[in-house]
Every structure is written in C-alpha cells, then in structure tokens.
Amino acid sequence: MNGQTAEELLRETGAILEGHFLLTSGLHSRLYVEKFNVLQHPEYTEKLCEMIANHFKDEGVETVIGPATGGIILSQVTARILGTRSIFTERENGKMTLRRGFRITPGEKVLIVEDIVTTGGSIREVVDVVKAAGGDIRGIGLFVDRSGGHADYGVPGNIVFPLVRLTVPTYSPDDCPLCKEGVPITERGSHHLKK
C-alpha cells in the first residue's frame, strides 16, 4: 500500500469519523466507523483485503465467508486474491445461516472476514455456522476491531487478525460528556431508517 497503513487509508476515505454519534446500541461515542465510505472504492477495498489475504495465505484456505452485507464484499475480494471460493451467511427468521445452496464440507478450511466489529456477535454467529457444518476455521480477518481486543468470537484469539484495533469508549446518554458539552449528536448507519 505504498507505506500507507490500513488506519490511514480508512481515515483518508472518511471511514473513521470523529464527532458525537448515536450508535445502534443506543450508546453515544466520539468515534464512528462508516464502512461504506471505504467499500465504495474498489481499489481501497482490494488493498485492505489483500492485507488480510496475505496474512492468511499459508493457512490452506479453501473458502472465505462473511456475514451479509459488508462481509459479502470482503469475502468476494479476499477469495479472489487467495484463489478460493467465496460464500456468505445471512439471517433467516433472525438466525444466521447458509442459504442459496451454499455448503461447507467437514474439514473444509475456512477464513471468516468482516468489516467492523464492536461486540463480535455477528462473527460468533458465523463461527457457529461454520462449526456446525464441520468446517475448520483457519482465521478471522477484520478491517476494524473497535472493541479494543475485547470481543469474544468463540475461537482462540491468536487466529483473529484485525487491520486496525481501536478502543472506542461509549457512554450512556445520561453520562455522555459530549451531551453535557452540548455537542450536536449525529445518527449514522441504516438502523434509524427502520423507524
């Protein structure tokens, strides 16, 4: 990446934003990661996926999988770089599952990819899907781990590779220092569109 780090690239594309944000959880934060600000640029997405692919290139990965929506893009690009198959999970009746004829065979070496992780819940659901099918999880590649390394994926921590690890404090609305300072709040993401 011509010496440019993943974090620099994410900041340059406006994927890492600073301000006062209302998160999906209802908590407030000084930092927001808008994945689609980088995913809209194929050349940057490819550079970041290449960093993940290079990290896992010696793991014998046969399939790359990511959760819908952003994980689909990462899976496709990372799999192309590794020369493997790309699949994705999606929710059906609220449960993460394989659909569309996708299958994982017992012993198949799988790399899980995801864009932004806060609690690790979606990745843990993908881990459960892969394990239930008998897949061999060779690694988890992430663009951004905003949990500060505290997310629980249900796998050994040494197979998790985040390009960027952020520790992002969050605040309840009642205890938010930004609210007390009168900083206007911004609601981002698509969750507010469902109201």
Tabulate helix, strand, coil % of the chain (nearest 5): 35, 30, 35
pLDDT band at 3 (very low <50, low <70, confident <90, very high): low
Residues of the chain with pLDDT > 90, as a percent, come to 72
Residue 2, pLDDT above cutoff 90: no
Alpha-helical (H) ranges within 141-184 are 177-180
Residue 189, pLDDT above cutoff 80: no
User: Is the link from the previous residue into 69 a cis peptide, with omega within 30 of 0?
Assistant: yes
Q: Which two tokens stand for residue 176?
A: 């938010």
What are the pLDDT digits (tens) for 124-174?
Answer: 999 999 999 999 999 999 999 988 888 889 898 889 999 999 888 889 999
Sequence-distant (≥ 6) Cβ neighbours of residue 45 within 8 angstroms: 38, 39, 73, 74, 77
Residue 95, pLDDT above cutoff 80: yes
For 2: left if phi > 0, alpha if psi spans -120 to 50, otherwise beta; the answer is left
Nearest Cα to 176, choosing from 164, 188, 184?
184
pTM value > 0.85: yes
Query: What is residue 188's predicted lDDT score, i.e. its pLDDT?
Result: 75
Per-residue pLDDT averaged across 32-61, rounded? 94
- Helix H or strand E segment including 14: none
